[in-house]
Chains A and B, each alone.
Chain A
Amino acid sequence: MSESRRTLDARGLACPGPVIMLKKALEEGGSDILEVMVDNAAARENVSRYATHSGCVLLSVREDQGIFTLSMRAGASEGAGAHADGGKEAAKEAEPLPEKPGDAGSADGATVLVASDRLGRGADELGALLIKGFIYALAEADVPPRRIIFMNAGVRLSTEGSPSLPDLVRLSGRGVEILSCGTCLDYYGVKEKLSVGRISNMYEISAFLLEGRTVTI
């Protein structure tokens, strides 16, 4: 027996339009596979999030010339109406993300200061995983920051043996300025092992930190 399919064309709709279209289709039922077409990244994420929290199984996400097509298996028995609170939970989870010109549009021009080789306080293993994931996410962003500055133990990330080197090399290749504090490289004895970007000093670093928006990690 073949599966029934339905395509929802939500292109051109502002949020939360695409999510409402999907919600209605799920309530109407009758389709095993739903395909939702949207034309921006925020709508893609909102639809994906709503689908997941409505019990659908996301099967694929395709992009062709700026049009995203999300294919999902409808979760009939666990749909939005299945929530004990009458769907409030699903509605909350599907609260729309702001629409931006790019996945990380607001990062344009920002300076990121990385002052440790761990992100946050807590388990070392988790901190190392989080900082690696953060730098990976920067490398994947549509709009990367203008520069990344490594200080204190953060310089371990820009030197030989760092698991983040491939991502930093990618960022450097995209024009992101990678700076490492010379004093810090010297203190940790890794000045000769700097593998991406260049050495900087406190005067230049302090000027960069004061000139515009800085995000400290």
Chain B
Amino acid sequence: MSSAEEAVILTFHSVHAAIRAGRMLESKGLSPGLIPVPREIASDCGFCLLLESGSGGAIDPALEYEALWKRRMEVDGKGRRKTYERIETDA
């Protein structure tokens, strides 16, 4: 049995920008996860915002993100596989 989940990841130029954007999204009633930037998409230390699928409409340039990524996570008997796709729309 397998399942797949999609989420959007926003990366930022600074941790302050990530915290600011997280607060903006929370003020809109969303619950973004402030998580370490996945190693698959950046090797530097940093934090990004993770939004579960369905929250995409809330993403606007005012969040001052650096890049948007789509994460697809497939889970089956063998474990988890994550795929990251950069969405070519910068703020």
Contacts and interface: CB of A to CB of B under 8 A. Distances in A.
Contacts of B86: 57-60
A61 B83 contact: yes
A14 interface: no
A88 to B, nearest CB: 18
Interface string A48-79: 11001000011111111000000000000000
A51 B70 CA distance: 20
B34 A129 contact: yes
Contact of A60 (B33, B36, B47, B85): B85
Nearest to B81: A63
Contacts of A48: 39-43
Contact of B36 (A52, A57, A58, A133): A133
A85 interface: no
A215 interface: no
A129 B19 contact: yes
Interface string A75-104: 000000000000000000000000000010
Size class of the contact patch on chain A: 20 to 34
Interface residues of B, number: 19
A60 B40 CA distance: 9
Contacts of B4: none
A136 interface: yes
- Interface of chain B, helix or strand or loop or mixed? strand
A62 B83 contact: yes
A161 to B, nearest CB: 14
Interface string A113-151: 000000000000110010011001100000000000000
Nearest to A47: B43
A126 B84 CA distance: 27
A126 B81 contact: no
B15 A129 contact: yes
Contacts of B85: 59-60
Contacts of A32: none
B34 to A, nearest CB: 6
Contacts of A62: 83-84
A130 B84 CA distance: 23
Nearest to B33: A136
B72 to A, nearest CB: 9
Given A61-B84, A137-B36, 11 more contacts: A45-B43, A49-B43, A52-B43, A57-B86, A61-B40, A63-B81, A63-B82, A129-B15, A133-B34, A136-B33, A136-B36
Interface of B: 15, 19, 33-36, 39-44, 47, 81-86
8 contacts: A48-B41, A57-B86, A58-B41, A58-B42, A61-B41, A61-B84, A129-B15, A129-B34
